[in-house]
Amino acid sequence: MASLSTPACCGTSKAAELLQLSVGTVQSLVDKKILLAWITQGGHRRISLESIQNYQLQQQKLPALERLMSERLKVMVVDDDAVTRHLLQDTCLSAHPHVDCCAMSSAIEALLHLPVFKPHIMLIDLLMPKVDGWELVKRLQQNEDFSKLQIITLSALSLAELKDRGGPPVGSRLIAKPVDLGWLRGYLVGLLAPQAWA
């Protein structure tokens, strides 16, 4: 039986599940002292359930405008073709006032910026030099911090050509190039519904 002096707590993964955030974000909240946490003798991090509940209440009490301003949908475009890259970025930015979009010219550049920008959605060209779209998607799916990331892969290859290369990456949504910009705008606007991408 637990001691009455022991506060109710949970691990980082459970806290992330309760808050609907990534493990990395929860760790950041702990580092900023927003969530109360401590390390057990066994070396495990424990987070106070009371501090989790308090954080949830604070988020619910945010004024509507402040909440909207904090809930921006972040999109990252990764394409080595400059014209396509900028066209997709402009389309994303013009889709809705609460969409942020950055554009990267390579998978390596994208991987370097991911921890800073923290996108909710990535548009990834499959055919890129050095590290291609298949490899980038694989690396993303191996990282728990990006478990909620929505991945859209882009390709001008025919279905037969894609099949020869092993098909589109599992867990991604394949869109043919050139991208239907009207569809992209509608897709982003639809995702701005409350909690759709949190």
Q: Quick check: is 153 in a domain? A: yes
Range of 55's domain?
9-61
Q: Which residues of 162-196 are buried (b: 16+ CB within 10 A; e: fewer)?
A: eeeeeebbeebebbebebeeeebbebbeebbeeee
Distance from chain centroid for Cα 13? 17
Which pair of structure tokens corresponds to residue 67? Answer: 């909440």
Q: Quick check: is 33 in a domain? A: yes
Domain CATH number, residue 127: 3.40.50.2300
Q: Where are the alpha helices (DSSP H) in the chain?
A: 12-19, 23-31, 49-61, 64-70, 82-95, 107-117, 133-141, 159-164, 181-191
Say what the pLDDT of residue 193 is. Answer: 63
| Whether residue 41 has pLDDT greater than 60 | yes
Q: What percent of the chain has pLDDT over 70?
A: 87
Does residue 104 sit in the same domain as residue 154?
Answer: yes
Tell me the per-residue pLDDT of 119-134, one tens digit each, with 9 for 90 and over.
Answer: 999 999 999 999 999 9
Say what the pLDDT of residue 1 is. Answer: 40
Say what the pLDDT of residue 28 is. Answer: 78
Between CA 170 and CA 95 the distance in angstroms is 27
168: confidence class by pLDDT, cuts 50, 70, 90: confident
Average pLDDT over residues 129-155: 91
Q: What percent of the chain has pLDDT over 90?
A: 40
Does residue 111 sit in the same domain as residue 178?
Answer: yes
Q: What is the mean pLDDT of the chain?
A: 84
Quick check: helix, strand or coil at residue 176? strand
Does residue 106 sit in the same domain as residue 185?
Answer: yes
| Residue 76 β-bridge partners | 102, 122
Among the three residues 21, 42, 61, which one is the final residue of a domain in this structure?
Answer: 61
Does residue 101 sit in the same domain as residue 135?
Answer: yes
pTM exceeds 0.75 for this model = no
Between CA 155 and CA 31 the distance in angstroms is 40
At 4, the amino acid letter reads L
Sign for the CA dihedral angle at 68, 69, 75, 81 comes to positive
Tell me the per-residue pLDDT of 183-197, one tens digit each, with 9 for 90 and over.
Answer: 999 988 888 765 454
Residues 6+ apart with CB under 8 A from 166: 134
Average pLDDT over residues 45-54: 90
Between CA 176 and CA 154 the distance in angstroms is 6
| Whether residue 3 has pLDDT greater than 90 | no
Does residue 84 sit in the same domain as residue 165?
Answer: yes
| Whether residue 143 has pLDDT greater than 70 | yes
Does residue 15 sit in the same domain as residue 40?
Answer: yes
Tell me the per-residue pLDDT of 56-108, one tens digit each, with 9 for 90 and over.
Answer: 877 665 554 444 445 678 999 999 999 999 999 999 998 988 888 899 999 99
**Number of structural domains in the chain:** 2
Say what the pLDDT of residue 116 is. Answer: 86
127 burial (CB, 10 Å; 0-12 / 13-18 / 19+) is middle
Between CA 77 and CA 93 the distance in angstroms is 11
Say what the pLDDT of residue 165 is. Answer: 86
Q: C-alpha distances in angstroms, 98 versus 45, 69, 71, 188?
A: 35, 7, 8, 10
Say what the pLDDT of residue 70 is. Answer: 54
